[in-house]
Amino acid sequence: PRKEEDKRPPLPEGYLEKLQQVRYSDHTVRVYTSYFRDFQQYFEGRKIETVTPGEINDYLLYLIHEKNISSCQQNQRINAIKFYYEKVLGQERRCYKVNRAKREKTLPDVLSKEEIKKILDVTVTDLRFFCMFSILYSAGLRISELLELKPGDINESRSLIRVRQGKGKKDRYTLLSKPLMKKLTEYNRLYKPKVWLFEHRPGEPFTESIVSKRL
């Protein structure tokens, strides 16, 4: 199907360049630029540099009450907005009346082997998602880490996967099972990824939203 046109306003001059200059990860750049374009769209027709802290506070409350955004997303959106006014425009630090949400501290649900098998069984007809979900489970990756993988991060001879700059900005290596390595070899032969290990379209990675919804 034809890719839907993104009708959100283009980023203001200097925003993307500043993100790259301070060497934020590709994942953070994608999140910040997407959330800031949402912010621009909300205030479409306005010069974005004239939006007041009070109006931004109202926007954040709108997202919390009308869009039911999570505490994590709330903080990410605040950071994306603050980055523009404070880092790109060089204005003083901005504070908003809405409280910066604390991350909910909940114990993770641990899936049984049978449940993992059921998840993988329904992806046998789509080798891409079978490999993605298998790596998430086998290597203990976050979805964001999975989507940062590149073809060269798989060491077939040693059955290792290199996770680049995960949490803590430190690369790490994780051992993969031989059956999974066989599937990855088959996947590489069929899809021939160029830039990212898992590409939604040539040269374009999957988004977290697509992977999480499918999962």
* Residue 123 and residue 178 share a domain: yes
Residue 4 lies in a domain: no
Indicate if 130 and 188 belong to the same structural domain: yes
CATH at residue 162: 1.10.443.10
State the average pLDDT for the chain: 86
pTM score, whole prediction: 0.53
Residue 160 in any domain: the answer is yes
DSSP string for residues in the chain: -PPPP--SPPPPTTHHHHHHHTT--HHHHHHHHHHHHHHHHHTTTS-GGG--HHHHHHHHHHHHHHS---HHHHHHHHHHHHIIIIIIS-PPP---SSPPPPPP--PPPPPPHHHHHHHHHTTTT-HHHHHHHHHHHHHT--HHHHHT--GGGEETTTTEEEE-S-TTS--EEEE--HHHHHHHHHHHHHH--SSSSSEEETTEEPPHHHHHHH-
Has residue 111 got a pLDDT over 90? no
210 inside domain:
yes
Q: Does 103 reside within a domain? A: no
Residues 120, 57 share a domain = no
Q: Per-residue pLDDT for 2 more than 60?
A: no
User: Is the domain of 81 the same as that of 118?
Assistant: no
For the stretch 163-179, pLDDT in tens is 876 555 677 888 888 88
Domains in the chain, number: 2
Domain's final residue, options 88, 122, 140: 88
The CATH number that applies at residue 37 is 1.10.150.130
pLDDT over 70 (residue 149) = yes
Q: Are residues 200 and 117 in the same domain?
A: yes
Enclosing domain of residue 82 = 15-88
